[in-house]
Amino acid sequence: MIKFTARLKDGGKKMLAMGLSFENLRRLKDGKPVSFALSDLGLDGGEIGEIMIFAGETEESITNDLVSKGWLNRDRLVYQEPDREQ
């Protein structure tokens, strides 16, 4: 994975960009998350120290997988973006 931050053209906010290798895509397809620390980019995320990326057939299947692994308590799910038509 490559990751970097860049300043947006308007000179204000930064953008976080990531590029996933095919190996990382295979890991995601196999149900294994990909993660990295914000400090790897020189960022202080306050309470958030790490970014974790998941993949699955649908948002519901991802949620069910995380709940079954004990990584997510469905009762504490704050926001789940609804499916959108492409």
Q: Quick one: 85 and 63 in the same domain?
A: yes
Q: Quick one: 12 and 25 in the same domain?
A: yes
Three-state DSSP state, 75: helix
pLDDT score recorded for residue 77: 65
- Domain containing 83: what range? 57-86
Q: Quick one: 14 and 48 in the same domain?
A: yes
Q: What is the pLDDT along the chain (86 residues), one digit of tens a residue?
A: 898 888 888 877 888 899 999 999 999 999 888 988 888 888 776 777 888 898 999 888 888 888 888 888 877 665 556 665 54
Q: Which of 36, 64, 62, 70 is nearest to 51 (CA)?
A: 36
Total number of domains constituting the chain = 2
pLDDT score recorded for residue 14: 82
Q: Quick one: 41 and 19 in the same domain?
A: yes
What is the value of pTM for the model shown? 0.67
Can you tell me the distance from the alpha carbon of 68 to that of 54, in angstroms, rounded to the nearest whole number?
14
Q: Quick one: 41 and 70 in the same domain?
A: no
Per DSSP, helices labelled H in 1-86 are: 22-29, 59-68
